[in-house]
Every structure is written in C-alpha cells, then in structure tokens.
C-alpha cells in the first residue's frame, strides 16, 4: 500500500491545525504551504476537498484561512483517507467468488477499523512521543 501525496499533505496541514485547535484563529494555505514546503496551489486543492467533506471550515477575508471543523480527537485518520481514496488498501476487480477475495476483504476491514480508531490527536501524541518535539514532516 502506498499512501498518496494528497493524504500525506492533508495530514501535515490538519496536524498543524490540530496543534493550534482552540488557541488560534484560522491559518492560511499560504502559511501552511510555506511551513511544510508544499505547493500552495496543490495544498489549496487538498483543503478544498477537506472542506467539501466537512473536515475543515474556511474563513474568507484578509485574516481568513482554515480551521478544523471538529475537535482533533473526533477526526479519524480514516476520515482523512476517505476524502481522497474510496478504498483504504484494496480495490480489487476480482469477482466476488474469486478465491483470494476473502483475505483482501478482511485486510481492508481490519485496516479501516485501525484507522477509524486513530485520531489526529492520537497522531500528534505519537509524533511528540517519537520525536520529542512536534515536527510535522511525515
């Protein structure tokens, strides 16, 4: 399984917003892009998709930008992944009676369960624990 650039960049931006949740106003895509070394245009497209799926809110105007639409502990990694990919791991074109379908179905279910139980807050905690400091480079 390869995690797409869109998912990785979305997580970088969302983790940034999660770290600031409740303490600061909106963050512009320009600021997020500069902080993480991501193309501003590409990140704007990503955040547009996140907004369309209800994971972030946008504020227009000179001091506008993006905010998490919910608390970081309520946004799961599965929520983020499903914005960009309809299948977490396996999109098989095999017939339902193919001998290998049960294992791919089971693996997809297990990974979805794991990702749905991990929130942005959980990932922030893992990063802090792993690195000793908050660094969003994923």
Look at residue 52 and tell me if it is in a domain.
Answer: yes
Look at residue 136 and tell me if it is in a domain.
Answer: no
CATH classification of the domain holding 14? 1.10.10.10
Look at residue 138 and tell me if it is in a domain.
Answer: no
pTM: predicted TM-score of the whole model, two decimal places: 0.84
Task: Dump pLDDT digits (tens) for 50-85.
Answer: 999 999 999 998 889 999 999 999 999 999 999 998
Q: What's the rounded Cα separation, in Å, for the pair 62 and 26?
A: 11
Task: Dump pLDDT digits (tens) for 109-122.
Answer: 898 899 999 999 99
Under the banding of pLDDT at 50, 70 and 90, the label for residue 129 is: confident
Residue 133: what are its φ and ψ, rounded to 5°? -140, 160
Report the number of distinct structural domains present in the chain.
1
Look at residue 66 and tell me if it is in a domain.
Answer: yes
What range does the domain containing 81 cover? Answer: 5-131
Q: What's the rounded Cα separation, in Å, for the pair 98 and 41?
A: 42
């Amino acid at each position: 399984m390869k995690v797409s650039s869109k998912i990785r960049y979305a997580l970088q931006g969302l983790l940034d917003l999660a770290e600031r949740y409740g303490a600061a106003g909106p963050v512009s895509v320009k600021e997020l892009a500069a902080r993480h070394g991501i193309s501003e245009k590409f990140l704007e497209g990503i955040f547009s998709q996140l907004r369309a799926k209800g994971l972030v809110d946008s504020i227009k105007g000179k001091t506008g930008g993006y905010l998490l639409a919910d608390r970081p502990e309520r946004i799961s990694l599965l929520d983020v992944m499903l914005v960009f990919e309809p299948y977490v791991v396996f999109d098989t074109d095999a017939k339902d009676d193919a001998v290998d379908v049960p294992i791919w179905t089971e693996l997809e279910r297990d990974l979805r369960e794991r990702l749905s139980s991990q929130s942005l807050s959980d990932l922030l905690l893992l990063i802090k624990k792993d690195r000793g400091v908050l660094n969003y480079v994923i």
